[in-house]
Amino acid sequence: MMIKYSKSALKFLAKADKPTVARIRNAIEGLTHLPPDGDIKTMQGYSDGRQRLRVGKFRIVFRFTVENEIEIVYIIDIGSRGDIYK
């Protein structure tokens, strides 16, 4: 399974401190397991199957897709709990 990041997700990871980045990358790795690890919930109001993963006070918005028979975890956005849903 492959992991792809959006521009905004990469921007967040570039700004965050090393321990935070390590925790988030670890949690994202957990998404590649079957079944995925972590506190995951499907987000309401979206038709593309978005889900969110909770990592402490941060939220990772992602969805599973398939391109050319390769399963992909597409990381849409990463942010703190208060800002991510706006």
Q: Which domain holds residue 53?
A: 2-80
CB 46 within 8 Å of CB 77: no
The answer to whether residue 84 scores a pLDDT higher than 90 is no
Phi, psi of 50 (to 5 degrees): -65, 145
pLDDT at residue 77, as a whole number: 96
pLDDT at residue 44, as a whole number: 93
Q: Does 85 fall in a domain?
A: no
For the chain, what is the domain count? 1
Question: For residue 52, what is the domain's CATH number?
Answer: 3.30.2310.20
Q: Which pLDDT tens digit goes with each residue over 3-12?
A: 999 999 999 9
Q: Does 15 fall in a domain?
A: yes
Q: Does 23 fall in a domain?
A: yes
pTM over 0.75: yes
Q: Which pLDDT tens digit goes with each residue over 38-67?
A: 999 999 999 999 999 999 999 999 999 998
CB 32 within 8 Å of CB 40: no
